[in-house]
Structure 1
Amino acid sequence: MAQKAAKTLAARNTTILNRTALLTALFHGLFWFLRALLFRSSFTRKSIILYILLSAPQLVINWQFERNGRPLYARPGDLKKSGDDLEAKGLTEYMWDVTYWTYGCLALVALLGDWAWWFWLVIPIYSVWSLYTTFMGARQGFTQDAAGVPQPATSKRQAKLEKRGGQQVRYR
């Protein structure tokens, strides 16, 4: 059972990456099929440029996932590297949000027309909001002393204990 966690992560990453590759091919194929064959009149140079500009971040993210998350094997069954965790919090989670939102935008644009690219604006708006809330949360997490030096804020429990005179050791 050597490297059980690494093997589990490698299997999970392989499943996730295979599913992502299939979904990417499906949504981009749906877009090209509907725009090129069924809605030929709305298939213009402008729509191709919008497609390239607004789907490129998702394609770059998928390439990054493949590069960092795909497990490497020295030979079949001999795991060399399990890859990065594709279910990690933080930036990876945001990258999945961009990927799934782009899938939705591609489907809407394929069905409704170029005006649906406006839905893609949710991604940068969400980024700005996320950065703002993170910055403000970090800023509120620190208070300043008399010299203007940031000090970590105390919890409510700790503030109550200090108000009562701090923690005291009782001997029986």
Structure 2
Amino acid sequence: MARKAAKTLAARNTQTLNRTLIITAAVHAVFLLLRGLLFRRSFTTRSLTLYLVLSAPSLIIQFWFERIGRPTYGAAPGEFRRSGEDLEAKGLTEWMWDVLYWTYICLGFAAVLGDWAWWSWAAVPAYSAWLAYTTFVGARQGMAGMAGAGGEGGDSARSKRQQKMEKRGGQRMQYH
């Protein structure tokens, strides 16, 4: 059974990586064709530098996905070695997919609207900073909640059931 799951993951990864490779090649080709042929006057060295610098993270991510996600096979036909990492994992992998997709969008904007559209790429670090901030605040609140759980015997330390029983005059609990 475990080999079946690994083979399913390998097939899914291969399909995802092949599709992503085609999309990446198409988006970059469209950008270069539009900027190089239709908007030739505005395609300067500065434009090319912006393109190379701001599309580099997506190309690095693409290479990383190929490295960790592409299944490996042995020398013998049909010999399966490794399925690769799950490319649908949450967390960092999910964030990297977001960066990849947002770069596609920015390439489209920059191809049609010009170099000033690269400013939309600033959403990536802004989004990352927001995620880091909300994670930090959530962790800090979680730690504060754990510290307050063993409180001094106030109402927040008692369960609703205990509070109802004490309200009715039932069994009183002693808190130390």
**TM-score if structure 1 supplies the norm length?**
0.85
SS in 1 for 2:147: strand
**Residues 136-151 of structure 1 aligned to structure 2 (within 5 Å):** 136-143=137-144, 151=147
Match of 2:132 in 1: 131
Paired letter, 1:34:
L
Q: 1:116-159 CA deviation, whole Å, 9 max, x = no partner?
A: 00110110000000000000001100127xxxxx63859x9x84
CA distance in 2: counterparts of 1:26 and 1:124, whole angstroms? 25
Give the structure 1 partner of residue 109 of structure 2. 108
Give the drift of 1:160: 2.9
Q: Is the contact made by 1:65 and 1:86 (CA closer than 8 Å) also made in structure 2?
A: yes
Q: Specify whether residues 163 and 25 from structure 1 end up closer, same or farther in structure 2 by C-alpha distance, changes over 3 A only.
A: same
Count of matched residue pairs: 159
Question: Which residue of the partner structure matches residue 44 of structure 1?
Answer: 44
**1:79 shift after superposition:** 1.2
Contact 1:141 1:152 in 2 (8 A): no
Aligned match of 2:66: 66
**CA shift in 2, pair 1:76/1:161, >3 Å:** farther
Identify if the C-alpha distance between structure 1 residues 160 and 97 changes in structure 2 by more than 3 Å, giving closer, same or farther: same
Equivalent position of 1:121 in the other structure: 122
Kindly state the Cα deviation for residue 161 of structure 1 after the two structures are TM-superposed.
Answer: 5.0
CA spacing shift, 1:152–1:59, aligned 2, 3 Å: farther
| Structure 1 residues 3-18: aligned runs within 5 Å | 3-18=3-18
**Which amino acid counterpart does residue 59 of structure 1 have in structure 2?**
L
Q: Name which one, 1 or 2, has greater alpha-carbon Rg.
A: 2
What CA distance in whole angstroms lies between the structure 1 residues aligned with 2:22 and 2:148?
47
Instruction: Identify if the C-alpha distance between structure 1 residues 30 and 5 changes in structure 2 by more than 3 Å, giving closer, same or farther.
Output: same
Q: Tell me, in whole angstroms, the C-alpha distance in 2 between the residues paired with 1:133 and 1:139.
A: 10
Taking structure 1 as reference, are residues 119 and 153 closer, same or farther at Cα in structure 2, changes over 3 Å only? farther
| Cα distance in 2, alignment partners of residues 17 and 153 from structure 1 | 47
The Cα shift of 1:8 comes to: 0.3
The answer to which structure has the higher strand fraction is 1
Q: Which amino acid aligns with 2:144?
A: T
Change (3 A) 1:162 1:140: farther
In the alignment, residue 31 of structure 2 is paired with which amino acid? Answer: F
